[in-house]
């Protein structure tokens, strides 16, 4: 059974760079994973209308084409047992759970994502061991508690206030700071990053709590430059934007200058009318 590539890097304090996957396509996910550019790809099921069958096919494609060197992760819609259990049984190597506001929320996530005796995840999954390159379901169950990444999102004012109690929950592998929604919760204009002192104060409170417990922390950036800035602040799990943002950005980078050039050429080619020029 393969190791969880991203979890191994985080445990060693090494950066694990990835990409948010919003495009609902097996082929797109497979092609991106095959490039060897990313340590992980996160299939977003919180804000994308993606069904579980298609998600399972995307997860399998990511794991198989990369031979486990690109970790398939799912952001589930909620931290309920059905969402977490089904994402892991579909072949995810880890789950990212949004809107964790209390210690009980965090404890529930761990309980639903771990097999006994650490939790109460059921052992009847048909597919998860194949995602780890194994044909032995029992072997997977024996090692899954060590190899499945359990990540929680801190993204509200309530979560920041409760961060110490939340992070004292055993079994959390990663804290993801959801900066966009954190801005919203703090009454600020939504953004992935800002220098607003209210946001910065909340951010560094979470970072300090993570450092005190030796828990890796991550976030989403909008560019490679932003990713480098986050790594300099100690973030080790960083998403370099989303696949759709990269796609649309590449399209604009190619077509916008072309449109401008064509418009300029058209203007310069217009006939000069002496009667209307004064």
Which positions are catalytic?
A: 47
**Measured distance CA(66)–CA(30) in Å, rounded:** 9
Q: Tell which residue, 111, 68, 69, 74, has the closest CA to residue 92.
A: 74
**Contact yes or no for 245/222 (Cβ under 8 A):** yes
Question: What number of other Cβ atoms are within 10 A of residue 151's Cβ?
Answer: 26
Contact 272, 255 (CB under 8 A): no
CA distance 231 to 16: 10
Query: Nearest 5°: CA angle at 60, between 57 and 66?
Result: 135
Q: What is the DSSP letter of 272?
A: P
Answer whether the bond into residue 117 is a cis peptide, omega within 30°. yes
């Amino acid at each position: 059974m393969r190791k969880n590539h991203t979890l191994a890097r985080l445990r060693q304090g090494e950066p694990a760079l990835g990409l948010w996957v919003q495009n609902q396509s097996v082929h797109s996910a497979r092609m991106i994973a095959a490039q060897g550019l990313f340590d992980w790809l996160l299939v977003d099921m919180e804000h994308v209308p993606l069904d579980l069958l298609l998600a399972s096919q995307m997860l399998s494609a990511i794991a198989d084409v990369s031979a486990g060197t690109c970790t398939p992760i799912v952001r589930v819609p909620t931290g309920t047992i059905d969402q977490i259990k089904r994402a892991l049984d579909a072949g995810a190597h880890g789950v990212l759970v949004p809107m964790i506001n209390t210690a009980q929320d965090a404890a529930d996530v761990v309980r639903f994502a771990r097999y006994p005796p650490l939790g109460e995840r059921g052992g009847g999954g048909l597919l998860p061991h194949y995602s780890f390159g194994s044909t032995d379901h029992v072997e997977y169950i024996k090692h899954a508690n060590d190899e499945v990444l359990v990540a929680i999102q801190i993204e509200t004012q309530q979560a920041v206030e409760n961060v110490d109690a939340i992070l004292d929950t055993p079994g959390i592998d990663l804290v993801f700071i959801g900066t966009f929604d954190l801005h919203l919760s703090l009454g600020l204009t939504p953004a992935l990053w800002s220098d607003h002192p209210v946001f910065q104060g909340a951010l560094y409170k979470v970072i300090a709590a993570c450092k005190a417990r030796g828990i890796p922390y991550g976030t989403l950036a909008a560019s490679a430059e932003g990713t480098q800035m986050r790594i300099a602040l100690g973030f080790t799990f960083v998403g370099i934007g989303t696949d759709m943002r990269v796609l649309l950005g590449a399209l604009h980078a190619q077509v916008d200058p072309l449109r401008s050039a064509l418009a300029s050429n058209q203007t310069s080619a217009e006939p000069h009318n002496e009667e209307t020029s004064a």
